[in-house]
Structure 1
Amino acid sequence: MAIKKLALSALVVNRANDRHGELENETAAIAWLFKARETHMRSLTKDIVEQGEIYEYPLVSPDKSKFIVFDGNRRVTCLKLLDDPRRAPTTELQAFFRDQKALWKGAFPTEIQCQVEADRDRIDEILFRRHTGSQSGVGQSTWDDRMKANFVTRTGKGGGPQIADEIEKRLSEASLLPTRRKIPRSTLNRLLSSEPFRHRVGVSMKGGRFQFIQDEAKSLTALARIAKDMAERDLVLGDIWDIDGKQGYLDKLELEGVLPKKTVTVTTAEPTKSAEKPAKVKPSAKATPTLRTTLIPQKDFDLSWPGRLQRHHRIWEELQFHLDLRTHPNAISVLMRVLIELALENYIKEAKVTAHENDKLATRLEKAGLHLQAAGRIDAKKIEVLKKFKQGEKLVSADTLNKYVHSTNFAPSPEHLMSIWDSLADVIVEMLKV
């Protein structure tokens, strides 16, 4: 551990703070802190001004010429906005920080003492042990369940079996372990920290149980390559610190033909003996079917969410968990259209699809669909749906989406909304995966 005095301007508020998951940049991270914790942020700012200092060193890690803040983002944000109130996300907050800056006694600090840790695995261990209490916003805020989940998703740390241990065991049994150096387990846990990344190499840890979900031999070959890259330091923790880094590395392996194809699925279920008859189950008179209450079914779509898709992610969560189809059909219809357009633009940009700005939504969607089909990610049936999407008389059409937004006489129904979503869902998900 090293305690160093660093320039405030050299500190970067963490865009991948576990409080919120990955966001686009430092500005978005600062805005989130005030949107989610404005009262706490104001209290902390007043406390810092009254005391003329901060009592705990921010935990930072070097990143080129800057230092990313891993603990103390709220304190650093308050100091940064006191130093330059124009960076506050609203005019009201800008006035608040100007007023607080005027109360500062003596010279305002341009440097602060920080705990500098280059080992990011050590940083995660420190974070894991620190977050216990909020003290009305002046102390550290306790992580809620979602923040804890963000931490586990990012790092692979949790109470159950570690994916790195399971992989090392399988590679050892297959005599595929690197011989010169050990696999850095923290790096392997980080790369395969969530199911979407594990699925790309053909494995799963669903329910805390390791299993191969694609061809085992091909998956082992891919895992051996990953282990070799990590053991030989061709892939280090900093390369895969965020979602884009993980996706970029796995995309590279996919282009090289290292990853298993998705066409083969291996089941681990035990075969049923023909001699045994299934037990008869008497239906309950009280049994009722499960009704779908949200536009997006509440199941795992195997999506990861890089910072550049922060708004896509928020809209997705509103449509999957928060907005009831019977209560909010108008809001859902508009948000569904927004999500479709944002997902489409994401795919056109990231996959470099040739499309003109003047093309209508249906035309751009069809071009993206043909690109997805050429990449083997959707089938001909989905292309037919996208072609019919151009036809105004169809329920699942661009014309219907336009009417949801602009027509005063066209009221969306839950059944129609679900029909549109179910027809386009596979395409939307694929467009969000790049």
Structure 2
Amino acid sequence: MDNSELTPVINIGLNTGRANFNYGMAELAALSTANNMNVVERIDQSLPKPIAATYFGTGKVEELRDIVVETGAEIVVANDELTPSQIRNLEKVVKVPVMDRTGLILAIFANRAQSREAKLQVQLAKLQYQMPRLHTAANQSLDQQTGTSAGGGFTNRGAGEAQIELSRRTVQRQINHVRHELKEVNRSAEVKRQQREKGHLPNVALIGYTNAGKSTIMNELIKRFGMNDDKQVMVKNMLFATLDTSVRQLQFEDAKKLLLSDTVGFVSQLPTTLVEAFKSTLYEAANADLLVQIVDYSSNDRANMMTTTEKTLREIGVPDLPMLTVFNKADLTDSEYPTQAGDQLVISANDDASIDLLVDAIKKKVFKNFVTATFLIPFDKGDVVSYLNEHASVLNTDYKAEGTEMTAEVTDIDFQRFQKYYVSSEA
């Protein structure tokens, strides 16, 4: 899609002295692009705090109005969450719609949602975002009907208040309805999760900033170790390409298995309503045995991205879980790869040796409780032999007069399960 097909927009931001202001503005530009917008101009102002009525100062708002006319911009996008009055007052001057950062992210999420769960989560977040803004909407509607200002007189104020209350009740009913539907969807998802957990398979969750390469890494692992190699996840070079958590089962050459999940990407200043709505989607991260944080190594903002990820994990209540930090896209830098220092890896998702190093690091973390043991299994217990051949890494098989002797790496759960056949341990 060329720029002529995109909506021309102006990004505006208020620099109140935050150290990461330019990072936030660059992120706003990327979010705008993800929403099929073409950023034709960026306007900043340095102030200790936003102007209560118009966000920017009066002179800067007038400058913004002139630049809107000059550039033909159709929307102004602010880097902060604006109050309803700030949006209304800015629109009166610049004569085009004004969208704040929260509204932009909600629009992207609404366009990306595919599953019923994601659509409901976005709908809930949008309704919660709209609730405090009903006063503005009701007054604007009343102005149009009466041709007077919102504060024109007692009768109008009463009509406005009645309309606001009616709208508020309507939105609250919608919120309650969506929450009920989400509970039903979550109940079904919980059954599937419980079925997976019955298999006692370790759960590894890929987390990180959106567009860091999580889905690409997941697809490489699925291609090599997936149970069904056709179950790849979508990859697209844009923020929030997918909102759904994908879970796949992997089996390695030594028969060890795990569940791998690719979670929705994070972004700074993620609206509170979305964080709350997507808690269920991020269940896989909260209940993982290992988190693998994917970081774009080629980005100068990677430190901010890592801070964003860790902050979001705290917000959604993810406990202090074991984590590997994987610096991806090293092929776009001059750095040597693949390398590992402790729990930090530098890799490229498109490099076989990098994937080998990542798999080895993951396996050392999640399979550290495996036990290497020798079992002597009676010949009439062929089901146990079959189970170990399918679910364990069998190192040696020998046939004795008393039965089948097998040396294998097994989970501590399976070790307890077959302990009556245990004859010696190699660990």
Please classify the TM superposition score into its range, dividing by the shorter chain length. Answer: under 0.3
Bigger radius of gyration: 2
Question: When you count helix as a share of all residues, which structure comes out higher?
Answer: 1
Question: When you count strand as a share of all residues, which structure comes out higher?
Answer: 2
TM-score, length of structure 2 as denominator length? 0.24
